[in-house]
């Protein structure tokens, strides 16, 4: 789904609030598991951030190793807080 298709699904008042920066989102865990969003889950998102940091040399190698280890142990909040 592209941005234009996604925006067309929003109620007009919500879209206007977003465009005028008078809106914030509080999204629960279920939003990523179904269409039409196809967003990554929490663990996948954190993994993608770690890979980005690794490929772009944003963090030291030992930190990357520690983050991957924490992620494999499902310490998602710790990883998110660090990132």
CA 11 – CA 16 distance, rounded (Å) = 9
Nearest Cα residue to 41 out of 53, 49, 51, 29: 29
pLDDT of the residue at 35: 73
Question: pTM for this one?
Answer: 0.60
> Per-10-residue mean pLDDT for the chain, 83 residues long?
83 90 76 70 92 96 98 97 94
What residue spans define the domains of the chain?
1-39, 40-83
């Amino acid at each position: 789904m592209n941005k234009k298709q996604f925006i067309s699904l929003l109620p007009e008042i919500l879209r206007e609030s977003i465009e005028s920066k008078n809106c914030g989102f509080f999204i629960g865990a279920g939003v990523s598991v179904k269409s039409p969003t196809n967003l990554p889950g929490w663990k996948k998102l954190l993994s993608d951030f770690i890979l980005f940091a690794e490929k772009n040399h944003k963090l030291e190698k030992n930190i990357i190793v520690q983050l991957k280890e924490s992620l494999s142990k499902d310490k998602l909040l710790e990883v998110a807080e660090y990132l």
